[in-house]
Amino acid sequence: IWAQADNFISSFKFQMSPLQQKRRANENEQVICHLSERNAVIETCLKMNTMGINQGTSGNVSCRVDGGFLVTASGIPYEIMSPKHVVFVDLVAEAYFGNFVPSSEWRMHYDIYKNLPEAQAVVHAHPTYCTALACQRRGIPAFHYMVAAAGGKEIQCSEYASFGTQELSDAMLAALGPRRSCLLGNHGMICHGPNLGKALWLANETECLARQYLSALSMGQVPEILSDQEMDVMLAKFKTYGKQPDQIAGLTDFEKKHAISAPPKSSAEMVDGAIAHHELRQQVINTCLKMNAMGINQGTSGNASCRVPGGFLITAS
């Protein structure tokens, strides 16, 4: 499921203010540990607001590093944030380092990294549709197969607890379970992923699902919910989404049975060392980007193609 998330996230552009550029340049000349990771956290925050899934400084972002994690400082506007505003928190000592206190929601990040070794990055935000559902204490059921992108058959909503408390973090862990995303009662959403780009992609996908679910509910009828058996198949398919044939050898027989199928691979694509139909391929890419910009698609869930002599060009899985 992660294969094209990075490409989708990289399509969102942002510009640092002149003040932020100056501060970033000055601090880059100093010795700051995990400098590239700190800059990546800041860029993720800026993209999060550009994408419209967060407002102001209400959300927070972190990534795992040796010995702990880096998380945004409390109350610092992203537009003026610099590497010193991304705080290191020690997972063993449960202490932070530096002159800025970590996000008020540091406990949720801490407990995800402490309890979920696969989590390498965390995104917490207050996106509109996720928050609307969370204020009704509603999760997102399997009304659409993309719910499986979060690693389960539903996206649960936690019980309410005051922000910044251990009670909220405990409620979050209970709602997450084995999944990678959940809603937070009367609050927002949180998710984790294997890197910052993929965690941000999942945050956006969760918000898209929340918007679609609320749209379906607005028609006055409860949407049809996919069966547990179908969601088992979807979870198996997502294990092979975006993977090449040599990457699925270690999967279970059930997962292999339901692997996403592709036509046989041909070796005749290259012509004199060049990629055939280069301009048309670029047009397909541009169409995908426009499709997301227009709001008629989210993430990598859609696809585009065009006819060429002898066949067609289509986006990769």
| Catalytic site positions | 105
Which two structure tokens, joined as six digits, stand for 155?
Answer: 């996206």
In DSSP notation, 145-203 reads GGGGGGTSS-B-BPPP--TTSHHHHHHHHHHHTTSSEEEETTTEEEEEESSHHHHHHHH
Q: How far is CA 31 from the centre of its chain?
A: 30
Residue 36: alpha-carbon gap to chain centroid? 19
How many other β-carbons are positioned within 10 Å of the β-carbon of residue 283? 14
Longest CA pairwise span in the chain (Å): 64
- The dihedral built from the CA positions of residue 8, 11, 16 and 17, taken in this order, carries a sign that is negative
Reading the block at residue 103, the tokens are 């996000």
**Torsion angle, alpha carbons of 216, 217, 219, 224, to 10:** 60
Which of 197, 113, 110, 203 has its CA nearest to residue 150?
A: 203
Q: Return d(Cα 27, Cα 42) in angstroms, integer.
A: 14
Residue 293 neighbours by CB under 8 Å, 6+ apart: none
